[in-house]
Amino acid sequence: MQFRTRDVSLVESTWKQFVPSAVLHDVDPRRFLFDWHSADLGAASLVRYDLAAEVRSTAEPHDQFLACRVAGPDVRVWSDRGDLNPTSPWISDGPRVHAQWERGARVTALVFERDALQQLARRISGDDTLSLHVAELAPKSEQASAAWNRMFSYLESSAAALDDDDHVVRAELGRHAAATTLTSFTTSIEKNRHRSAQSAPAPATVRRALDFIAENAHRPITVDDVAGAVHMSTRGLQYAFRRALDMTPAECLKQARLDGAHRDLRSGAPSTVAAIARRWGFSHPSRFAVAYRDAFGVLPSVTAGTHRR
């Protein structure tokens, strides 16, 4: 899809099709011009637009990973954690990122749905229990930043040459976008590198159990409930998890709940650490704090304070 317009209202509505949380503030309509290009790459949506106007924008992706670069002569980019380098791309899976410019900017972005990118990360890492999260908004290094920029240029030129029925090539470009983005930024896939990779994919029963845990971790389910959902005995499920993942179903359920609490704490929503802990089944704040620190390297109060609105 591509078009040019001077209709200010069309900009936000178009961008919201890809990132529903995107908001434009303080747009100067007197010298406004919007030039939009986008492409569906299966695993990713590719977006590039030029916006000539005085603009302040905010993106706070929900259930998405947004990798983006905002380039221009007077661009400022920042998050609630501090300023970001406007010459480099950044990535967010929830934290708000703001950008501001007066003399026009070019925005280049890749938008990934959380489930799709997480599934790819699990295949890359060999860990069927991996919960994918962004650790740092900035790229790993200048070299990683340059690699992401080169990849985007390649994707954009390749996508422009695609026909509607080039489904295989489109899918390969999407996988390339996802893999390069995962290697350019620091995510939770890094902490799993010390674990030995699975020699084969987990059995179908274990995968179904993991899906049930992911979908129901916020509910008061037990390991017995997980076993019942996949029509196995609790003992048989425990054996299958140990053999396939070297983890117990209880450990996987606990990690899923910690991941849920981590997302809520990072969201900046007005809630106490104790309330979020209870929401995810942790009735003892001190035990929750210890488990959270073991999983994420900081106390939950630190995460909450960093992302508080």
Q: Mean pLDDT of residues grouped by 10 in the chain (309 residues)?
A: 80 82 76 86 91 86 93 92 91 92 92 91 78 90 94 93 82 91 90 52 83 89 91 89 88 91 83 89 88 88 73
Cα distance between residue 177 and residue 113, in whole Å: 13
Domain stop point among 169, 192, 215: 192
Is position 199 within any domain? no
Encoded tokens for 308: 């508080």
Three-class secondary structure of residue 221 per DSSP: coil
Q: Which residues pair with 68 in a beta bridge?
A: 90, 109
Phi, psi of 271 (to 5 degrees): -160, 155
214: phi > 0 → left, psi -120 to 50 → alpha, else beta; which?
Answer: alpha
pLDDT of residue 200: 53
Q: Which of 307, 306, 305, 303 is nearest to 295 (CA)?
A: 303
96 and 215 assigned to the same domain: no
Domain stop point among 192, 224, 249: 192
Is position 198 within any domain? no
Domain count along the chain: 2
pLDDT of residue 197: 47
Is position 197 within any domain? no
In this predicted model, what pLDDT tens digit does every residue of 147-171 receive, in sequence order?
999 999 999 999 988 887 788 888 8
CATH code for the domain in which residue 266 is found: 1.10.10.60
211 and 188 assigned to the same domain: no
Domain stop point among 192, 220, 250: 192
110 and 18 assigned to the same domain: yes
80 and 136 assigned to the same domain: yes
100 and 142 assigned to the same domain: yes
DSSP string, 145-164: HHHHHHHHHHHHHHHHT--T
Cα distance between residue 280 and residue 262, in whole Å: 10
Domain ranges, residue 268: 204-306
244 and 119 assigned to the same domain: no
171 and 259 assigned to the same domain: no
Encoded tokens for 169: 């090539």
109 and 161 assigned to the same domain: yes
Residue 147 amino acid letter: A
Cα distance between residue 214 and residue 118, in whole Å: 12
pLDDT of residue 172: 87
262 and 176 assigned to the same domain: no
